[in-house]
Amino acid sequence: MKAVTWCGKKTVKVENVPDPTILNPRDAIIKITSTCICGSDLHLYDGYIPTMQRGDILGHEFMGEVIEVGKGVASDKLRVGDRVVVPFTIACGNCFFCKQQLWSSCDNSNPNAWIAEKAFGFTPSGLFGYSHMTGGYAGGQAEFARVPYADVGPLKVPEGMTDDQVIFLSDIFPTGYMAAEMCDIKSGDTIAIWGCGPVGQFAIRSAFLLGASQVVAIDSVPERMELAAKAGATIIDMRDEWIYDRLLDLTGGRGPDACIEAVGNESHGGTLDAYYDMAALATFQVTDKAHALRQCINCCRKGGTVSIVGVYGGIVDKIPMGAAMNKGLTFRMGQTHMMRYMKPLLEHIQAGRIDPSEIISHRLLLEEAPHAYEIFKHKRDGCVKVVLKPN
């Protein structure tokens, strides 16, 4: 089959690789009909996430048709012919963490747990197409994929719904929603969101769904800010506005009730700390840049919440803990607990409360993946979100 492979920093190729096969009784094989490129893939592309190997198949946002199931998958759970969206986190459904709905902390789905334990103390769940530290699983930017624990993750798509309507249930809609949910939004609240990428877009829409009175979105890419404004957000263009001052103006001098970090470890900016990050990264003193995270902490009102869904892989520096501590902030964060959100969010789509497809800017063929990574990475050609079609 054809698949998108990681071939070193800033190089992806479309190569012929062996088709996946059932390895374990609870596996299923999916023939992929839609697959996306995520901001998280850019962290791999840019070389921020360790333990990638040449030839690793990328991709963790995909859906398609079940063409084979292992003997351990009960037919009331999944059958050949079902159309499914696959969550990017892999979970066994039986461990201490899965039982508490902490799906992205599953204890059994990362066969390379020892690598993650060395880095983090404990391992998160396995992830599709996301380095050997999270399992070394082949990803879904391909014609076919093997899905482990297929009786737990995949969500069946109701008749009549298109791929474009449901594909983002594989990651970014639940992620944006969890980011907003972690803010414990009350009526009257102002939520500030750093990053108007695909995750930020869903955080904005979810904050409104959860009852925020005002959502303020921060970025510098014109078409992304436009899309955020279309969803009702007040925009701060970080290129020419002082974020802190503007947020105070918008909140009667108090600051946002919660700040969502939807940027991650490649955040950039024009202030001294952002330049410090670049120097620290170049000299191996840090692994991740934290400019947006620092701003979230500094701008949040006293007693507010900082909700982090932007991905961090290792060590950051110059985190203003004094501000966080003395303001009494609550920090919440994590890889998304996907299986908590997929079904309820499907219902929001069915009810017409949200149309996820409006963030798609490019529909391309799988073969065009190298070009797609380039335009998504450099925000060229108005690229907000790419959906790749294997056929």
Q: Is 261 a residue that touches Zn ion (CB under 5 A)?
A: no
Contact of residue 130 among ligand NAD, Zn ion, none (CB under 5-8 Å per partner type): none
Closest distance between ligand NAD and the C-beta of residue 270, in Å?
A: 9
**DSSP secondary structure code for residue 162 in this structure:** -
284 and 238 in contact (C-beta within 8 Å)?
A: no
Tokens standing for residue 353: 């409360």
Q: Is 311 a residue that touches ligand NAD (CB under 6 A)?
A: yes
Q: Is 38 a residue that touches Zn ion (CB under 5 A)?
A: yes
Q: How far lies 247's CA from each of 32, 203, 338, 341, in Å?
A: 43, 18, 31, 30
**Which of 92, 290 has the CB closer to ligand NAD?**
290
CB atoms within 10 A of CB 163: 18
Q: Is 197 a residue that touches ligand NAD (CB under 6 A)?
A: yes
Question: Applying CB under 6 A, which part among 34-42, 131-139, 276-284, 355-363 lies near ligand NAD?
Answer: 34-42
Q: Is 37 a residue that touches Zn ion (CB under 5 A)?
A: no
Per DSSP, what are the bridge partners of residue 62?
35, 86
Q: Is 167 a residue that touches Zn ion (CB under 5 A)?
A: no
Among 5, 34, 35, 40, binds Zn ion (CB under 5 A): 40
Closest distance between Zn ion and the C-beta of residue 236, in Å?
A: 25
Q: How far lies 219's CA from each of 198, 296, 312, 353, in Å?
A: 12, 13, 19, 25
d(CA 73, CA 57): 25
Q: Is 89 a residue that touches Zn ion (CB under 5 A)?
A: no
Exposed (0-12), middle (13-18) or buried (19+): which is 223, by Cβ within 10 Å? middle
Q: Is 238 a residue that touches ligand NAD (CB under 6 A)?
A: yes
* Residue with tokens 């391909």, as numbered in its chain: 142
Contact of residue 156 among ligand NAD, Zn ion, none (CB under 5-8 Å per partner type): none
**Which of 20, 174 has the CB closer to ligand NAD?**
174
**DSSP secondary structure code for residue 190 in this structure:** E
Q: Is 221 a residue that touches ligand NAD (CB under 6 A)?
A: yes
Question: Applying CB under 6 A, which part among 4-12, 13-21, 219-227, 360-368 lies near ligand NAD?
Answer: 219-227
- Sign of the Cα torsion 241, 245, 246, 249 reads negative
- Helix and strand totals (H; E) in the chain: 13, 18
String of contacts with ligand NAD for each residue 122-161, x by CB under 6 A: ----------------------------------------
In 3-state terms, what secondary structure has residue 216? strand
**DSSP secondary structure code for residue 351 in this structure:** T
Contact of residue 238 among Zn ion, ligand NAD, none (CB under 5-8 Å per partner type): ligand NAD
Among 70, 269, 304, 390, binds ligand NAD (CB under 6 A): 269
d(CA 111, CA 134): 8
Contact of residue 289 among ligand NAD, Zn ion, none (CB under 5-8 Å per partner type): none
Q: Is 198 a residue that touches ligand NAD (CB under 6 A)?
A: yes
Among 56, 151, 163, 171, binds Zn ion (CB under 5 A): 171
Among 39, 126, 136, 256, binds ligand NAD (CB under 6 A): 39
Q: Is 171 a residue that touches ligand NAD (CB under 6 A)?
A: yes
CA angle 225, 43, 38 (to 5 degrees): 55
